[in-house]
């Protein structure tokens, strides 16, 4: 498979689409990112890598971090984690308060904001320094010791994240947060503010394509069964209330973030990451999703 040629073809096809989406302005630090940015990277479990465009430029990964927090927290709790967060698609926007009230403080899945707040709470309970531990976890998964957070983005998100604060307090009222609300919100904004590139993300998600084993450290991060379950959640819940559309068009487990990044996983083969800041009405990268659709169409490879 000539992945480099495929990426070059996708790049040419995608260029006219870049101005079509809208950057996430509700987080002030993301509002100034150019919608013309586009990067895409592939990393295979055999150690090959391919890239195009702005694939090495770092950007705010936002909700892509929820895959890392779930993968770090899952082994601590095992299947008990599902007593506090569900495994079903939301069918609603990622920051819905109505759904959380209706379901009495049990978030629908770990990838909507309320679910990620619960997972953040779990990590705070198990780790002495959750920020340092998560950062080290991400650095090991990417084989990149320079991965860091962006305090300006975190502060911007915390100062304007009134709905997240409301959800955290709501979760606390149902006893589904064990730690102080402010500590959970601070950690949540920290991991959403991590800065990574497409190549970092393609490498960082590769353990999910490799039955839970990190290719660089040979560490078994998740059991094969747990890796399968995280991939299943990405397929059904990773792109919010557009998960069905993403599965229909792309056909991969995937996770998106409002910074414009999307990562897809082909089990036993590779991880592919794309970045284009312009978002569609569902909060997913418009050009990024189409680029991944072109990728699975041109390669003829998906999980279906």
Contact 223, 69 (CB under 8 A): no
Give the active site residue among 85, 119, 138, 188: 188
Is residue 173 flagged as an active site residue?
A: no
Identify the residue whose tokens are 């899945």: 109
188 labelled catalytic: yes
Cβ-proximal residues to 12 (8 Å cutoff; 6+ apart), any chain: none
Among 153, 193, 197, 240, which one carries the catalytic annotation?
Answer: 240
For 63-131, give the DSSP string.
GGHHHHHHHHHHHHHGGGGGGTS--S---S-TT-HHHHHHTTT--S-TTSHHHHHHHHHHHHHH-SSHH
Which one of the listed residues 23, 153, 258, 263 is annotated catalytic? 258
DSSP state, 33?
S
Of 92, 97, 236, which is closest to residue 173 (Cα–Cα)? 97
Told to judge if 3 belongs to the known catalytic residues of this protein, a careful annotator would answer no
Residue 290 falls in the annotated catalytic set: no
Please state, in angstroms and rounded to a whole number, the distance separating the CA atoms of residues 164 and 167.
5
- What tokens were used for 57? 């430029």
Strand ranges across the sheet with 59-60: 59-60, 194-196, 148-149
Given the residues 23, 37, 60, 66, the one annotated as active site: 66
Cα–Cα distance, 107 to 100 (Å, whole number): 6
Give, for 275, the enclosing helix (H) or strand (E).
strand 270-275
Give residue for tokens 């975190």: 154
Of the candidates 11, 72, 6, the one whose C-alpha atom is nearest the C-alpha of residue 39 is 11
Annotated catalytic, 33? no
Contact (Cβ atoms closer than 8 angstroms) between residue 61 and residue 201: yes
The tokens describing 41, both together, are 């990277």
Q: Are 302 and 294 a contacting pair, CB within 8 Å? A: no
Catalytic residues: 63, 66, 188, 240, 258
């Amino acid at each position: 498979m000539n992945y480099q040629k495929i990426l070059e073809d996708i790049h040419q096809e995608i260029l006219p689409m870049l101005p079509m989406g809208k950057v996430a302005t509700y987080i002030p630090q993301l509002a100034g990112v150019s919608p013309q940015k586009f990067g895409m990277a592939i990393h295979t479990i055999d150690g090959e890598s391919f890239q195009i465009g702005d694939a090495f430029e770092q950007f705010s990964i936002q909700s892509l971090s929820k895959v890392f927090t779930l993968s770090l927290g899952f082994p601590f709790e095992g299947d008990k984690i599902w007593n506090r967060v569900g495994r079903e698609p939301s069918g609603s926007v990622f920051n819905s308060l109505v759904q959380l009230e209706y379901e009495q403080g049990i978030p629908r899945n770990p990838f909507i904001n309320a679910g990620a707040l619960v997972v953040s709470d779990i990590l705070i309970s198990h780790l002495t320094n959750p920020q340092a531990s998560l950062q080290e976890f991400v650095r090991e998964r990417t084989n990149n010791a320079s991965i860091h957070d962006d305090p300006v983005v975190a502060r911007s998100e915390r100062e304007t994240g009134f709905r997240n604060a409301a959800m955290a307090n709501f979760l606390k009222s149902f006893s589904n947060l064990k730690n102080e609300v402010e500590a959970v919100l601070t950690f949540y904004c920290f991991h959403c503010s991590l800065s990574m590139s497409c190549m970092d993300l393609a490498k960082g998600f590769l353990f999910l394509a490799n039955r839970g084993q990190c290719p660089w450290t040979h560490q078994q991060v998740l059991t094969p069964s747990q890796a399968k379950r995280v991939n299943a959640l990405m397929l059904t819940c990773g792109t919010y209330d557009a998960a069905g559309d993403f599965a229909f068009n792309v056909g991969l487990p995937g996770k998106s973030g409002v910074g414009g990044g999307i990562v897809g996983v082909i089990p036993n083969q590779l991880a592919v990451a794309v970045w284009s800041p312009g978002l569609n009405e569902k909060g997913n990268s418009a050009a990024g999703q189409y680029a991944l659709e072109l990728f699975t169409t041109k390669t003829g490879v998906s999980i279906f």
